[in-house]
Amino acid sequence: MKSIVIVESPAKCKTIEKYLGKNYKVLASYGHIRDLPSKDGSVLPDKNFEMKYVVDARSKKYVKEISDAVKKADELILATDPDREGESISWHVYDELLKEKVITNKFPVKRVSFNSITKDAVNKAMAAPREIDMNLVNSQQARRALDYLVGFTLSPVLWRKLPGSRSAGRVQSVALRLVCEREKEIEAFKPVEYWTIQALFQTDMGEQFLSNLSQISGKRIDKLGIKNKAEAEQILNEILGQEFSVKEIEKKRLTRNPKPPFTTSTLQQEASRKLGFSAKKTMQIAQKLYEGVTIGGETAGLITYMRTDGVSIAPEAMDRTREAISKLFKGNYLPEKPRFYSSKAKNAQEAHEAIRPTDSMRTPDSVEKYLDSDQAKLYELIWKRLVASQMEAALLDQVAADIETNSKKYIFRSVGTTMVFDGFYKLYKEDVDDSDDEDAELKLPILTENQNLDLAKTEEKQNPEGEQHFTQPPPRYNEASLVKKLEELGIGRPSTYASILAVLIDREYVKLDKRRFIPETRGRLVTEFLSDYFTKYVEYDFTAELEEELDLISDGKLDWKKALKDFWGAFKENIDKAMELKITDVINTLDTSLENLFFGEHGTAEEKRKCPKCSDGKIGLRLGKFGAFIGCSNYPTCDYTRQILTNDNKPKESEEGGDAGADANAPNNHFETRVLGNDKRTGKEITLRKGPYGFYVQLGEQGKDKKDKPKRTSIPRGVKIDDVDLQKAETMLALPRNLGKHPADGLDVLAGVGRFGPYISHNKKFFSLKNISIFDVTLEDAVPLIVEKPEGARRGGFKKKTDTEKKEAPKKTTAKKSAKKK
Residues annotated as part of the active site: 305
Q: Which amino acid is at 773?
A: S
What is the C-alpha separation between 778 and 728, in angstroms, rounded? 19
Residue 77 C-alpha from the chain's centroid:
34
Q: Dihedral through CA 176, CA 178, CA 181, CA 186, nearest 10?
A: -110
What is the C-alpha separation between 346 and 546, in angstroms, rounded? 13
- Three-class SS state of 457: coil
Residue among 480, 117, 10 at smallest CA distance from 264: 480
Return the number of other C-beta atoms located less than 10 Å from residue 671's C-beta: 13
- Three-class SS state of 766: strand
Residue among 455, 440, 436, 446 at smallest CA distance from 399: 446
What is the C-alpha separation between 430 and 480, in angstroms, rounded? 12
What is the C-alpha separation between 211 and 217, in angstroms, rounded? 17
With a CB cutoff of 8 Å and minimum separation 6, the contacts of 486 are 175, 178, 265, 492, 497, 500
As beta bridge partners, residue 792 has none
Element (H, E) at 35: strand 34-35
User: Which one-letter DSSP state was computed for residue 130?
Assistant: B
543 CB burial (10 A radius; 0-12, 13-18, 19+)? buried
Beta carbons of 357 and 303 less than 8 angstroms apart: yes
What is the C-alpha separation between 685 and 2, in angstroms, rounded? 60
What is the C-alpha separation between 663 and 388, in angstroms, rounded? 52
What is the C-alpha separation between 297 and 662, in angstroms, rounded? 59
Beta carbons of 470 and 193 less than 8 angstroms apart: yes
Residue 704 C-alpha from the chain's centroid:
45
As beta bridge partners, residue 303 has 357
Q: Which amino acid is at 292?
A: G
Q: How far is CA 184 from CA 11, 166, 509, 527, 574, in A?
A: 46, 22, 15, 12, 26
What is the C-alpha separation between 640 and 651, in angstroms, rounded? 13
What is the C-alpha separation between 93 and 6, in angstroms, rounded? 9
Residue among 180, 144, 196 at smallest CA distance from 37: 144
Q: How far is CA 590 from CA 409, 573, 813, in A?
A: 55, 22, 53
- Three-class SS state of 575: helix
